[in-house]
């Protein structure tokens, strides 16, 4: 079966339109919603941690710049207690 240019163009346009509509109804997520925290940092040793379920905020600090996995396991980052979410 051979398709004419007009039919090929129509089928291709329909497939692209369906893909665009499907993408419009799919929410974009940067992190898996199964995880309960979102993290923000400027790339240093200090990060803000936001509980996406409750809105509570805490911060974490690394004591040094080592990237050795064994050293990090022995000296994990310090994280503060969570604050209450605003308005609660």
pLDDT at residue 17, as a whole number: 94
Q: Residue 14: pLDDT above 90?
A: yes
CA dist 45 and 1 (Å) reads: 63
Average pLDDT, stretch 62-81?
82
Give the DSSP per-residue string, 21-51. Answer: HHHHTSPP-SS-TTS-EEEEESSSSEEEEEE
Length of the chain, in residues: 88
Backbone phi, then psi, for 70, in 5-degree steps?
Answer: -65, -40
- Residues 18-67 pLDDT 10s: 998 888 877 666 555 555 878 888 777 788 888 887 888 888 888 777 77
> Where are the chain's structural domains?
37-79
Asked whether 81 and 58 are in contact (CB, 8 A), the reply is yes
pLDDT at residue 73, as a whole number: 82
pLDDT at residue 18, as a whole number: 93
Stated pTM of the model: 0.44
């Amino acid at each position: 079966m051979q398709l004419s240019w007009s039919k090929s163009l129509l089928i291709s346009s329909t497939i692209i339109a369906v893909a665009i509509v499907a993408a419009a109804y799919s929410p974009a997520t940067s992190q898996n919603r199964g995880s309960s925290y979102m993290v923000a940092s400027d790339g240093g040793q200090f990060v803000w941690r936001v509980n996406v379920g409750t809105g509570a905020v805490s911060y974490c600090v690394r004591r040094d710049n080592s990237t050795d996995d064994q050293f990090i396991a022995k000296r994990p980052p310090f994280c503060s207690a969570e604050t209450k979410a605003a308005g609660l």
